[in-house]
Structure 1
Amino acid sequence: MKKTTFVLTIFLTLISNAQPTDNSPDSTSHIQLLRQKITTYDDPYVFVIAHRGCTANAPENSIKAITDCIELGVDMVELDVRKTADGVLILMHDDTLERTTNGQGKVSDYSYDELTQLALKTKFGGENAPITGERIPTFEQAMLVAKDKILVNLDAKADVFNDAFNVLKRTDTQDHILMKKWLKPSDTALSLQTPFNQVLSMPVLAHPKAYQSKNYFSAIDYRAQLETHPIAAEFIFDSLDFAYQISQLARQNGVRSWLNSLTGWTSAGLGDAQALKNPDAVWGMFLAMGFSMIQTDHPKQLLNYLKKMKCEHLPNCKRHLTSMQFDR
């Protein structure tokens, strides 16, 4: 506990000393500023990523979930993408329709035109979730909404990466995307794979005991992947020891560490529910370890927590928070 408190104190000092960034209309574009920060490991900026969009008042993976994130000031939205029967890329997490829509059956059995007749259920859906007026969007529609306003993390639910890259080229949003792919220690680095080497990309590196995989990799097993210097790496783990070890390896190689707060199964049982009760014990602890990208189902609360941390160390905090996009 003393070590964590000491490291958290150092982190707070770093974030409180971060210089305000010019975000005026004549300066570098919003997307370019975010890209500069994400590719600069020493920048203490903490990225807030909304899981399937901002779902407090919108269905997951909907256009409204994206626009709500833009209005909130979230840095990045994570979107799930899969393909319809006629090859259209849409936003949809599950391979079936029941949880999130008023339809039934497999997504891959329907054409896009057929799917446009369905309505999305509110928030994360479920059997009794109310139906909304929101429709299933295409990936292209989502990227056009996000353009110039927010970064997008592509969570592909099948091998749709090349098709997704074609959408990015068509919408001129290649610089808005962060692609990711699950890798084992022996897999080829993303920097040598197409189309990952043409956009910002990161590996997903797992400590798979969390979901009873036969493969059980230690932090050291992933050293070679981190030594290829991706801009970031998403870590899934059921052990805080692994989290600490892998985040230190990432730090040594100048790689940003991505945390999935969420329900806790991807982060040693410490998720959003615990963070909302005691943010220092969850978000604060992982920030102290060196995690600088946090995906959450509660982006507003995480943003407020980061602002509060900065306010405690910055005399003119209120002035900065109202005038500087990046000075949380």
Structure 2
Amino acid sequence: MIWNQSETNIWVAGHRGNPAECPENTMASFRNAMEAGLDMIELDIQMSKDGELVIMHNLTVDQTTDGSGPIREMTLKEIRSLDAGSKFSGEYQGERVPLFEEFLELTRKYPDMTYDFELKEYPTEGNESRAYETADRVISLIEEYGLGDKCVLNAFSAVLLQYIHDKYEGRYKLHGYYPKSLLGAWKDRDPYDILYCACVCEDFTRENFGRLKAKGIDTWAGTRFKNREMAELARSCGVTLITCDNPREVMGILREMGLHK
């Protein structure tokens, strides 16, 4: 897979699929984003009470389904009984919370797509084994589906990113954040020494993006980059990828500006 994003070819990643048009982190949202011809899909992975890998951003099901409660306290059967389209306008009632493996099956139809897999289980005190097991199982599955060189692994945890880097000997592209404080504590090395890319989340200046570039880190931007004004800022800051909630619109803007091939 050729990673050819650049300051003159800014990639577009669908944040949880295409939530502007479909319920976030559902199969409908992922299919919509893939069919739109985006460069990347971003999604979030966590573990149910009975150890199944499911796709959802929030730690509870309250915001995006008709249910209530923490994911870690619910079985897969309970989670799959919920309607993940009930809070979205349109004809998406009946959408279910996807299994990670269900999404991986979809990737077989899109061999040129890349992926940003965000790990939501962090190795906080008492949750270390759960976090590391989740990461290991995700990596096992992406290898099974041939996606090891087509994805970045993403977390707001320097400790988790360092675990992946060390255990797998730097084999995978790691995605972090700027400023560094968003990554929490770290152990024996600067987390910026192991990152492939980082999303700048505040203080959008050429200087801040330049600090990452000076370390050899690819500079990405997040969901606040959603219109032409922010696309102009992206160009001035040297952004190479935008992760956004309205990816079809952002891709169109970048193409009008000659910044998406």
TM-score range, shorter chain: 0.7 to 0.9
1:261-272 to 2 correspondence within 5 Å? Answer: 261-262=223-224, 271-272=225-226
Q: 2:116 pairs with 153, 169, 175, which one?
A: 153
Matched, 1:198 2:160: no
- Say if 2:118 is the partner of 1:144: no
**2:128: which partner in 1?**
none
Are 1:68 and 2:32 counterparts?
yes
Q: What's the C-alpha RMSD, in Å, of the aligned pairs? A: 3.2
1:195 and 1:236 mapped to 2: Cα distance?
A: 28
* Superposed displacement of residue 59, structure 1: 1.2
C-alpha distance in structure 2 between counterparts of 1:286 and 1:299, whole Å? 15
Where do 1:18-33 residues align within 5 Å?
Answer: 32-33=1-2
Query: CA separation in 2, counterparts of 1:96 and 1:251?
Result: 36
TM-score, normalised with respect to structure 2: 0.80
Shift of 1:191: 7.7
Q: Distance in 1 between matches of 2:94 and 2:112?
A: 24
- Letter of the 2:151 partner, please give it: I
Q: Indicate conservation of the 8 Å contact 1:259/1:291, yes or no.
A: yes
5+ long unaligned stretches in structure 1: 1-31, 216-223, 263-270, 312-326
Match of 1:12 in 2: none
Aligned to 1:234: 199
Q: How far did 1:225 drift?
A: 4.7
* 2:33 alignment partner, SS class: helix
The change in CA–CA distance for 1:295 and 1:109 in structure 2 (over 3 A counts) is: same
Aligned match of 2:125: none
Query: Aligned pair in 2 of structure 1 residues 261, 156: CA closer, same or farther (>3 Å)?
Result: same
> Structure 1 108/129 Cα, relative in aligned 2: closer, same or farther at 3 Å?
farther
Paired letter, 1:252 = A
1:132 aligns with 93
1:165 and 2:165 correspond: no
Residue 241 of structure 2 is matched in structure 1 by 293
Which structure has the higher relative contact order (CA within 8 Å, separation 6+)?
2
Per-residue CA deviation, residues 3-48 of structure 1 (Å, 9 max, x unaligned), is xxxxxxxxxxxxxxxxxxxxxxxxxxxxx13x3x15xxx6732110
Equivalent residue for 1:308?
A: 256
For structure 2, list consecutive stretches of 5 or more residues without a partner in the other structure: 122-130
Task: Label 1:56 to 1:192 Cα distance change in 2 as closer, same or farther (>3 A).
Answer: closer
Q: Give the total of aligned pairs.
A: 245
Give the helix-richer structure, 1 or 2: 1
Are the aligned partners of 1:261 and 1:294 in contact in 2 as well (CA < 8 Å)? yes
- Residue 314 of structure 1: aligned partner: none
Structure index of larger Rg? 1
- Which residue is equivalent to 1:247? 209
1:257 to 2:230 alignment: no
Name the CA distance, whole Å, in 1 between partners of 2:115 and 2:55: 12
Check the 8 A contact 1:190/1:196 in 2, yes or no.
Answer: no
